[in-house]
Amino acid sequence: MERIGFCGLGTMGSAMAGNLRKAGFEVTVWNRSPGKAGELVAAGAREASSPAEVARNADIVVTCVSDTPDVEAVLFGPEGVAAGLASGGMVIDCSTISPDATRGFATRLADQGVGFVDAPVSGGSEGAHKATLTIFTGGTEADVERARPVLAAMGKTITHFGPAGAGQAVKAVNQVVISGVYLAVAEGVVLSMKAGLDPQAVVAALGGGVAGSWILANRSAKMVNNAYPLGFKTALHLKDLGIALEMARSLGVTLPVAGLAAQLEAGLLARGYGDEDMSNLARPIRQLSGMEG
Ligand code: NAP
């Protein structure tokens, strides 16, 4: 079995690294801020003091950090993964970042004989805990096949779309689609409540029909209660829409709904709600409808 390193123990990474341990992999972990590795160490993981030290103890290093500059810092910064990974090693990046930058990272790693797979995920914190993530991959056929047993310990549906960056391009599409669904579910929830209907009964009934979705089933209650524990941070979704809108601009594509979601999310960040779950897109819909939001 290959030895696995894991950098980034946030909402997603801590659960994903835990599932690698459960699958029997030897795992060495690192997080920028201390105090995040306790449970993993108790489960048999080793904690390293830098990404380079993680890499020195691993054949494959998985990264799951916030944004493009963060992946660059973890891979190529001082004491980064690239400084510790031997030729023949591999990086799997599960963060959601820019497809263009991803292609650059893959080339830089290839120059030192290190493979690379972009493997952004969908399925929320629930999917990360249950190891049921949907994973979109980009990379060479050989690298993706080598990554597959590692990805299979964290997710259920793994699809290879093309060379490095292709997985990130698909993830951008995913983030565009969920923008519209979150907004539509928020509108439906608010309309139900203002109509004096029982929103829970409405959600249960709609779930069996064409309006059913993961977001309706798993996030509408937060919108009803106007309380948005994580989940997925609004600030991270706005980061993802930045990537998608830039792709759209360069390809001559118009994304009016994603653009609206980005504007509403910018307003949520300005009000200090960026660290809430992105179902807080219901806040502006509620507020514009005369409800607390
Ligand atoms: P999170 O809980 O905010 O955790 C972010 C992680 O990145 C933390 O471990 C953080 O370290 C680390 N980090 C950020 N900047 C860094 C830097 N410059 N150097 C080193 N480490 C850095 O985020 P998350 O929800 O786990 O999301 C992680 C990635 O998965 C993001 O790209 C996100 O878009 C994607 N994603 C999230 C979800 C979801 O439902 N949450 C679903 C699919 C995909 P510190 O602890 O030191 O801050």
32 CA closest ligand 1 atom index: 47
pLDDT tens column, 44-57: 999 999 999 999 99
67 CA closest ligand 1 atom index: 32
Q: Could you give phi then psi for residue 62, rounded to 5 degrees?
A: -100, 135
Q: How many residues does the chain have?
A: 293
169-288 topology per CATH: N-(1-d-carboxylethyl)-l-norvaline Dehydrogenase; domain 2 (1.10.1040)
Domain range list for the chain: 4-164, 169-288
- Mean pLDDT, residues 177-200: 98
Q: What is the Å distance from ligand 1's center to 68 Cα?
A: 11
What integer pLDDT is reported at residue 22 of this predicted model?
Answer: 98
Q: What is the Å distance from ligand 1's center to 171 Cα?
A: 15
Ligand 1 surroundings by CB, under 6 angstroms = 8-13, 31-33, 36, 64-66, 70, 73-74, 95-96, 121-122, 124-125, 231-233, 236, 240
Query: Which residue lies with its CA nearest to atom 8 of ligand 1?
Result: 10
Q: Quick one: pLDDT band at residue 1, thresholds 50, 70, 90?
A: very high
pLDDT tens column, 78-122: 999 999 999 999 999 999 999 999 999 999 999 999 999 999 999
- Identify the CATH homologous superfamily for domain 4-164: NAD(P)-binding Rossmann-like Domain (3.40.50.720)
Positions marked active-site: 171
- Mean pLDDT, residues 223-232: 97
Closest residue by Cα to residue 284 from 270, 265, 258: 265
Within this chain, domains 4-164 and 169-288 share the same CATH topology: no
In the block, residue with structure tokens 């106007």: 226
pLDDT tens column, 230-272: 999 999 999 999 999 999 999 999 999 999 999 999 999 999 9
What integer pLDDT is reported at residue 138 of this predicted model?
Answer: 98
What integer pLDDT is reported at residue 72 of this predicted model?
Answer: 98
Contact 222, 283 (CB under 8 A): no
pLDDT tens column, 135-156: 999 999 999 999 999 999 999 9
**Which residue among 135, 236, 237 has the greatest number of ligand 1 atoms within 8 angstroms of its CB, and so is best to mutate?**
236
Q: Quick one: pLDDT band at residue 217, thresholds 50, 70, 90?
A: very high
Report the predicted TM-score, pTM, of the whole model to 2 decimal places.
0.97
Contact 81, 91 (CB under 8 A): yes
What integer pLDDT is reported at residue 197 of this predicted model?
Answer: 98
Mean pLDDT of the chain: 98
- Mean pLDDT, residues 191-208: 97
- Tokens representing 268 are 């949520």
